[in-house]
């Protein structure tokens, strides 16, 4: 009887499992045009610089939508979408997929190379007795001017670290009897970007009143 009961239970389980598989339908994959329209609409609603860059986003839709429809596989579709985003010429706009990450380097490569940290380090930082590397911030005083080099917004900056550097600038100048620091340079040349929160931390340190700088969507 136990064997019959076990077999009956197994049969019921198999039947239930098969019914469950029939009841659960797989989500259909979006079509090429659905994928294209979703991306185009998202950029259309949230990208801020169409007017500043004189970009006709409607024209981009007319050009690339037929190409997306004609794409024969996911790679061709990805490349078509990437080509459309390429016209934004924006290093912060990328299309990420398992096969690739689209990117536009022209915004960076089209500009002349005008920065060499090795020159700054050898000629201005290392010779200075005030030179310190405080976390991600290289800092010193050059000809009565405070200088801070910030290489990457991916490296965290705190208010307390900024307070330390600024107090050092003030203390050094008072002790040297040369008067207050005449100015401050925060050098972010060649910065590859990173977290916007670090930019806010730095600007908040110098802001005297609450200021709106952006809208978030």
Tell me the C-alpha distance between 79 and 76, whole Å: 5
Provide the pLDDT for residue 22. 47
CB burial class (10 A; 0-12, 13-18, 19+) of residue 181? Answer: middle
Q: Read off the tokens for 184.
A: 């401050």
Three-state secondary structure call for residue 23: helix
Whose CA is closest to 36, among 84, 72, 73, 75? Answer: 84
Inform me whether the pLDDT recorded for 36 exceeds 80: yes
Condensed to tens digits (0 to 9), the pLDDT of residues 143-155 reads 889 999 999 999 9
Q: How many residues does the chain have?
A: 217
Provide the pLDDT for residue 176. 57
How many C-beta atoms surround the C-beta of residue 77 within 10 A?
20
217 or 83, which is more confident = 83
98 or 70, which is more confident = 70
Inform me whether the pLDDT recorded for 120 exceeds 80: yes
Tell me the C-alpha distance between 213 and 175, whole Å: 38
How many C-beta atoms surround the C-beta of residue 147 within 10 A?
23
Provide the pLDDT for residue 194. 85
User: Residue 159 to residues 181, 188, 191: CA-CA distances in angstroms?
Assistant: 20, 17, 20
Provide the pLDDT for residue 9. 43
Provide the pLDDT for residue 179. 60
First to last CA, the chain: 65
135 or 11, which is more confident = 135
Residue extents of the structural domains in the chain: 32-109, 117-206
Of all residues in the chain, what percent are helix, strand and coil, respectively (each to 5)? 50, 10, 40
Three-state secondary structure call for residue 150: strand
- Superfamily (CATH H level) for 117-206: 2-enoyl-CoA Hydratase; Chain A, domain 1 (3.90.226.10)
Provide the pLDDT for residue 187. 96
Inform me whether the pLDDT recorded for 41 exceeds 70: yes
Inform me whether the pLDDT recorded for 21 exceeds 80: no
Strand pairing partners for 183? 145
Tell me the C-alpha distance between 165 and 179, whole Å: 17
Provide the pLDDT for residue 177. 53
Tell me the C-alpha distance between 201 and 16, whole Å: 58
Report how far Cα 197 is from the mean position of its chain's Cα atoms: 11
Tell me the C-alpha distance between 103 and 139, whole Å: 33
Provide the pLDDT for residue 3. 44
Provide the pLDDT for residue 78. 94
Tell me the C-alpha distance between 78 and 127, whole Å: 51
Identify the top-confidence range among 4-18, 64-78, 104-118, 164-178: 64-78
Please check whether residue 185 is in contact with residue 146, taking contact to mean a CB–CB distance below 8 angstroms.
Answer: yes
Weakest-pLDDT range from 23-32, 120-129, 192-201: 23-32
- pLDDT classification of 181: cutoffs 50, 70, 90: confident
172 or 2, which is more confident = 172
- pLDDT classification of 12: cutoffs 50, 70, 90: very low
């Amino acid at each position: 009887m136990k064997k019959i009961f076990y077999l009956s239970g197994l049969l019921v389980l198999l039947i239930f499992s098969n019914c469950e598989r029939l009841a659960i339908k797989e989500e259909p994959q979006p079509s090429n045009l659905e994928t294209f329209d979703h991306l185009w609409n998202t950029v259309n609603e949230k990208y801020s610089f169409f007017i500043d860059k004189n970009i006709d986003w409607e024209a981009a839709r007319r050009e690339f939508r037929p190409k997306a429809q004609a794409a024969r596989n996911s790679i061709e579709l990805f490349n078509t979408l990437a080509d459309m985003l390429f016209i934004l010429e924006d290093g912060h706009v990328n299309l990420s997929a398992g096969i690739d990450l689209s990117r536009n380097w022209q915004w960076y490569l089209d500009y002349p190379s005008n920065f060499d940290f090795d020159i700054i380090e050898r000629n201005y930082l290392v010779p200075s007795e005030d030179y310190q590397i405080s976390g991600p911030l290289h800092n010193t005083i050059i000809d009565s001017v405070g200088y801070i080099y910030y290489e990457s917004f991916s490296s965290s900056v705190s208010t307390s670290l900024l307070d330390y550097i600024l107090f050092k600038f003030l203390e050094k100048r008072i002790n040297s009897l040369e008067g207050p620091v005449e100015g401050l340079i925060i050098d972010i040349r060649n910065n590859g970007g990173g977290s916007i929160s670090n930019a806010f931390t730095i600007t908040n340190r110098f802001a005297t009143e609450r200021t709106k700088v952006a809208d978030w969507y």
